[in-house]
Amino acid sequence: MSQKTYVHGYSVRESERLSDQAQTLTGLLHDDTRYPAGSRVLEAGCGIGAQTVILAKNSPGSLITSVDISQESIRVAGERVRAEGITNVTFQTGDILNLMFEPESFDHIFVCFVLEHLAKPQRALEQLRPLLKKGGTITVIEGDHGSAFFHPGSADAQKAISCLVKLQQEMGGNALIGRQLFPLLTAAGFSDVHVSPRMVYVDASRPALVEGFTKLTFTAMVEGVGDAALRQGLISKEAWDQGIRDLYRTAEPDGVFCYTFFKATGYRDERMTGQKE
Ligand SMILES: C[S@@+](CC[C@H](N)C(=O)[O-])C[C@H]1O[C@@H](n2cnc3c(N)ncnc32)[C@H](O)[C@@H]1O
């Protein structure tokens, strides 16, 4: 995937959004991911390091290699990790579809919010699998924008979300990929695949989520594609503006917002592929 085909882009606002997202969802998405001391971990598609710092802090004894196709993101991620005093992460620029590591270089692989941007997510998983030692694990976390529902309901808000889904699809991605993690990992040859849906439920009694998820993560993400959606004539200006207002409206004291992430784990298993070594 070229950098131009990344639907959210690499703006400062998008960097802030990824950080807000990671911090807000730390417990929900990361608490059950702890890698043993001495284990080698590949983080594929680390972006600006928003998840990297969480991974590294949760598994301080592991040796993490974080890669991304964007050189600039790698630079920012490196600064961020250094600023946090983290010393168990090294960074490399690289394309998941063509990584230069020796087979069986890693005990674990971690992929978060990356497959949704790839035209060939199964191929990416197939490329990653041989990099695992036998018995090694992969963890994949993805969202699914079809899982968003909210109160008050709004047809314009749903239309605005659909614009993001459409734009991502046009760029070769899939914003509805969360529901496909089980078949994707299984088809890519991983065994014992287990998918754990993680719902974010937000109402006024959870002010940190109202701010950190409904506004700064989800609505900011949809809002970020406004110019592209209007330029392509996917929606009228009136419907777009109303849709965004309605998404923010769900963050009012009587509003509710729900969204589900999908966290999948699987094991490298030679028997699944029929390969003989
Ligand atoms: C939504 S960001 C997620 C970043 C990080 N995992 C997080 O959750 O904050 C997706 C990242 O995938 C990277 N990416 C997309 N295609 C890639 C590829 N083929 N190889 C490596 N990185 C890729 C993008 O550059 C971007 O940084």
Position 277 pLDDT exceeds 50: no
Q: What is the DSSP letter of 102?
A: P
| Distance (Å, whole) CA 22 – CA 212 | 9
Over residues 95-103, mean pLDDT: 97
94's CB contacts (< 8 A; 6+ apart) are 67, 68, 69, 100
Q: Does ligand 1 have an atom closer than 6 angstroms to the CB of 55?
A: no
Does residue 260 contact residue 198 with C-beta atoms inside 8 Å?
Answer: yes
Give nearest CA residue, ligand 1 atom 26: 47
Contact 19, 27 (CB under 8 A): no
SS3 content of the chain, % helix, strand, coil (to 5): 45, 25, 30
150 Cβ closer than 6 Å to some ligand 1 atom: no
What CA–CA distance (Å, rounded) separates 178 from 169?
A: 14
Task: With a cut of 70, say whether residue 5 has pLDDT above it.
Answer: no
Q: Is there an atom of ligand 1 within 6 Å of 95 CB?
A: yes
> Per-residue pLDDT tens for 231-258?
999 999 999 999 999 999 999 999 999 9
Q: What is the pLDDT of residue 19?
A: 66
Q: Give the number of the atom of ligand 1 that is nearest the alpha carbon of residue 50.
A: 9
- pLDDT tens figures, 77-87: 999 999 999 99
For residue 271, the model assigns a pLDDT of 45
Does ligand 1 have an atom closer than 6 angstroms to the CB of 78? no
User: By alpha-carbon position, which residue is closest to atom 16 of ligand 1?
Assistant: 1
Count CB atoms within 10 A of the CB of residue 236: 12
In the predicted structure, residue 275 carries a pLDDT above the cut 50: no
Cα 54 to averaged position of ligand 1 atoms, centre (Å): 16
How sure is the predictor about 270, in pLDDT bands with cuts at 50, 70 and 90?
low
Task: Give the C-alpha separation, 103 to 108, whole Å.
Answer: 13
pLDDT at 125 over 50: yes
DSSP state letters, 116-132: GG-S-HHHHHHHHGGGE
Ligand 1 within 6 A of CB of 70: yes
